[in-house]
Amino acid sequence: MNFGVIVFPGSNCDHDCGHVLGDVLGQKVIEVWHKETSLTGLDAVILPGGFSYGDYLRTGAIARFSPVMGAVKQFADAGGLVLGICNGFQILLEAGLLPGAMLRNRSLSFVCQDIHVRVENAATPFTGRCEPGQVLKLPIAHADGNYYTDEVTRSQLQANAQIVFRYCTPAGKVTPEANPNGSLDNIAGIRNAAGNVLGMMPHPERSAEEVLGNDDGRLIFLSMLDELKKAKLQLKMVGAG
Amino acid sequence: MKAKIHVTLKKGILDPQGKAIEHALETLGFKSVSNVRMGKYLELDVNEQDRGKAEAQVKAMCDKLLANTIIEEYRYELS
């Protein structure tokens, strides 16, 4: 499958994403510079972590206007899989491809540590390999992960199963103590209403190889692969492949 | 024309930076301080003589980029 990894000025997790998808999972990885306006030929798009535009003004605020984002929006509107990790999630929020906004971490610190998330929705293209309620250990590294939205949107997210990951204890309990940044309702990752766009603050690309001590994150990429292979197979069966 | 723009967090949005500043002020002995909120101040020149047009442009800049209207509000002065 062809995975596009968007590179903004200041992105710094693009190589890790490329390494996991290319070297670990054997997929074709195309680095897409933020000035590109075409995503033709890509099966999925990743917006990686980092500090696009130095987080100037607001994190993701300037990157969302990069030329490539028009194509990302079209790709998403057409149902293509889009995964935003950390700064990628922030850019998707600023671009309006996901609802809500990020605030500074409640502690005001840049938090860099392993946390646990509970899979709240295992029926998404990004969590198909997970069990409902499964606990994943993933690293976070961010200063602006305090997810916020108004109560109306929050209850819609809840009702539509759009909350995909919540911060939890290692045992899977969603508690205030397990919340590393003050995010509303311990939200660590959400999907859009159509279900093809996911944003998550933790870094699955930093936890996708056993040799690094943690490969829970690989499940997210494997789930995406499953989904893409299933879609290609369906196209073949319909005679369009 | 010159625009002076203030971007602040909406009321009700937690402002931990404001709180941290408030505590620091209290530590310095300013015990009468409360409700510290921190915002952003921007200045820019708009190459437009017509005040109405300049204002429309500044408002559009704020709505589109300078403020995230989910969590922030803004006010501006033109001169």
As a whole number of angstroms, the distance between CA A191 and CA A204 comes to: 16
Mean pLDDT of A150-168: 98
Reduced to 3 states, what is the DSSP secondary structure of residue A170? coil
Q: Does A149 touch chain B (CB under 8 A)?
A: yes
pLDDT in tens, A120-152: 999 999 999 999 999 999 999 999 999 999 999
User: Which residue matches tokens 């704020």?
Assistant: B62
Identify the residue among B40, B65, B72, B73 best suited for mutation to test binding to A, counting A beta carbons within 10 A and taking the highest.
B65
Mean pLDDT of A158-171: 98
As a whole number of angstroms, the distance between CA A203 and CA A221 comes to: 11
pLDDT in tens, A58-83: 999 999 999 999 999 999 999 999 99
In the DSSP assignment, the letter for residue A65 is: G
Query: Å from A108 to nearest chain B CA?
Result: 7
User: Which are the contacts of A172, defined by CB distance < 8 A and separation ≥ 6?
Assistant: A116, A118, A133, A135
User: Which are the contacts of A115, defined by CB distance < 8 A and separation ≥ 6?
Assistant: A137, A138, A139, A140, A167, A178, A180, A188, A202
Question: Residue B3: which H helix or E strand, with range?
Answer: strand B2-9
CATH class of A2-238: alpha beta
Q: Is the pTM here over 0.90, yes or no?
A: yes
Q: Select from A63, A2, A61, A33 the least CA-distant residue to A229.
A: A2
User: Which are the contacts of B78, defined by CB distance < 8 A and separation ≥ 6?
Assistant: B1, B2, B3, B46, B51, B54, B55, B58
- The CATH number given to B2-78 is 3.30.1280.10
- What pLDDT shows up at residue A237? 84
Phi/psi of residue B22, each to 5°?
A: -60, -45
Domain boundaries, chain B: 2-78
For residue A100, what is the nearest residue in chain B, using CA coordinates?
A: B70
Note whether A101 contacts B17, CB cutoff 8 Å: no
Query: Å from B65 to nearest chain A CA?
Result: 7
On whether the CB atoms of residues A151 and A99 are closer than 8 A, the answer is no
Greatest alpha-carbon pair distance for chain B in Å reads 49
Q: Where are the beta strands (DSSP E) in A73-209?
A: 81-85, 101-103, 111-119, 135-142, 146-148, 163-168, 187-191, 197-200
What residues of A are labeled active site?
Answer: 86, 203, 205
Asked if residue A241 has pLDDT above 80, the reply is no
Contact map slice: B 4-63 vs A, CB within 8 A: 13-14, 16-17, 20, 40
Domain boundaries, chain A: 2-238
